[in-house]
Every structure is written in structure tokens, then in C-alpha cells.
Amino acid sequence: VLYTSSNCIASDPLPSWNDGTARDAIIDFVECSTKDGCINYIDPQDRIAVFDNDGTLWSEQPVYFQLMFAIDRVKEMAKEHPEWKSEQPFQAVLENDMEELKTSGKEGLMKIMAVTHAGMSTDEFAEIVHNWITTAKHPQKNMLYKDMVYQPMLELLDYLREHEFKTYIFSGGGIEFMRVFAEEVYGIPPEQVIGSSIVTKYELQDGVPVLIRQPKIDFIDDKEGKPISINKFLGKRPVAAFGNSDGDLQMLQWTTVGKGSRFGLIVHHTDGDREWAYDRESAIGRLDKAFTEAKAKGWTIVDMKQDWKTIYPEK
């Protein structure tokens, strides 16, 4: 695509998007809010766009990819933990018994998160995630997880940035998990990637300061947590918000109610052939209340099957 942010008009800034109301709405918003003199003009310093991650920028089925990371880690770490063979929830993980794993509930999940996400320094954790994200593959698609990002959304991120929008992630996923790959995969630098966090503890080890990850939740960046962390991390209100589930409802409310030109968008997973199809009944990425409100408030709804020419980037 020969697109520049100068006076040239792009031939097509969103080549993986089919013609339709979603594509039109995006282009209308971006063109009108960035053309000097337009009634909907937005000052460059206020051009802040916030994105959910799971299900909005990359896939999230059959379970959130960060849980797949935790499962892979348990299997890797099991070499040094022979006792896990007969200890739940680890036994269920090692035996790929997802039904048994579900019965261990939130408590079991916290045990898995504690051994896989805590007890090491922030630097060590980043290295573990880096090793995983560059090698681990999705069991059904046989693709690297980091290749299961949405090509149309990558184009949208670029399109916004070419128009001087600053792009942020606000995700229920782990802040230090996503930061490892968000810059390479999405072009979003660490300080613009915000997510759920666990408590860290400052320690001097032989005089060298380290931050040790603790098995304790600090903040859940989901639902009401999203506007709260947007306010904390940004100190100003975004003008555009992009999500896919009820976890994004409050972020979209918070963003779209502000003065001036605003944009809200929901990615609706309708493509069971190329990706997955799910909405109101799904345990992962449920889109129910936010779906209803999107329709009532006129937020843009992307129909993945209709609106996207391709799902994942071609390699």
C-alpha cells in the first residue's frame, strides 16, 4: 500500500477490509477527525485510540492464549515437579484433562498462575514469555500464536497511526505478558500496553535491584477496570475504543460519551470456518450486553465473515 500521512490520498488504507458499513464508518471517522477545518476535527494530542487484545487483535479460542502459555509452562516445569503427576490441578494439565481442570475452578487457576507467572524477576518472566511466543503453536491451527493476529486490525492500527492517532492496548491479559511481543507484533511500545497485573516486590539481590513477581493479583484490567486504568495510565479520555466482548463495555461507554467526535467498534466473531463463531453464549469472550448496547448506541459492529477479506497475515 502506497500510503503516506502527507497530502497524497491513499489508494486503499484498509486492503483486507471488504466494502461495507464497518469500513465506511472507520474511514469516515478517521478522515473527518483529522481534516483541518472539519466540524469533527480532533487535535493530534487528543487522538488516542484504545484496543482490547484477546478477540480484538488476536484470537482467543478455544481458551485465552495466556492460559495456553500457563499450560505449556506447567508441562515444561513438570520435569522438576514429579509430585504434580498426582496433584491437582497440575495432574489435569499434564493429562490434558480439560474437564477435570475446569472442576478445579478459580482456585485451581490461581495455583497454575502462581507457579507459572510468579516467583521470578520481571526480567526472567519476560525471557520465559519471549521463548514461548517465538516457538509455541496453536494446537488446532498449527500456527504460532503471534501469527494469529488479525490482518485487518493490523491495517487499522497502521491507518490510525498514519493519522497521528496514538494506539494503546487495555486488556484483561497480563501487562508483562503482552509487552514482550506487542511492539513487534502490533507496533505498540511497552508503555502503551496496559493489562491486568500482579504485585511485584522490590528487592536487592547482592546489591542488584530486582522486581520479584508475587502470587497476588494487583489489578484486573477488565470491565469497570478498563476505564479506571485508562484514567490512571492516560489521564485523558480516548476518542476511539475497539473491543469484542462484554469486558469492553465500560471502556466503550467511557470513550464514546466524551465531547466531540467519538468512535466505538465491536468485533463480532461470525466466521466459524476461518476463525471461530461465538457471541452471547460463549464462556470465552462473551458478547452479550455490549452487543445489545452497541446496536442501541450505533457503535460500529464488524462482522468478521462479511467484513474481512483475510483473517491472519499471509506469511
Pairing of strands 263-270, 277-278: antiparallel
DSSP one-letter code for 144: B
Give residue 52's Cα distance to chain centre: 4
Query: How many residues would you count in the chain?
Result: 315
52 near Ca ion, judged by CB under 5 A: yes
296 near its own copies, judged by CB under 8 A: no
Whether 70 and 177 have beta carbons less than 8 Å apart is answered as no
Burial 170-186 (b: 16+ CB within 10 A, else e): bbbbbbbbbbbbbeebb
Beta bridge partner(s), residue 162: none
Q: Among its own copies, Ca ion, none, what binds residue 54 when CB lies within 5 to 8 Å by partner kind?
A: Ca ion
Whether 168 and 50 have beta carbons less than 8 Å apart is answered as yes
Close Cβ partners of 126 (under 8 Å, ≥ 6 residues apart): 176, 179, 180
Q: What is the smallest separation between the CB atom of 207 and its own copies, expressed in angstroms?
A: 9
Q: What is the smallest separation between the CB atom of 253 and its own copies, expressed in angstroms?
A: 5
Hey, CA dihedral for 265, 270, 276, 277, is it positive or negative? Answer: positive
275 near Ca ion, judged by CB under 5 A: no
Residues 214-253 that bind Ca ion (CB under 5 A): 244-245
Residues 107-136 that bind its own copies (CB under 8 A): 122
Q: Among Ca ion, its own copies, none, what binds residue 211 when CB lies within 5 to 8 Å by partner kind?
A: its own copies
Residues 238-277 that bind its own copies (CB under 8 A): 250, 253-254, 257
Answer for which of 200, 244, 245, 270 binds its own copies (CB under 8 A) is 200
Nearest 5°: CA angle at 72, between 67 and 74? Answer: 95
Answer for which of 55, 152, 227, 238 binds Ca ion (CB under 5 A) is 55
Residues 177-196 that bind its own copies (CB under 8 A): 179, 189-191, 193
Q: Among its own copies, Ca ion, none, what binds residue 250 when CB lies within 5 to 8 Å by partner kind?
A: its own copies
| Interface contacts to its own copies, rule CB under 8 A | 45, 122, 175-176, 179, 189-191, 193, 197, 200-202, 204, 208-209, 211, 224, 227-228, 231-236, 250, 253-254, 257
Which positions lie near Ca ion, rule CB under 5 A? Answer: 52, 54-55, 244-245
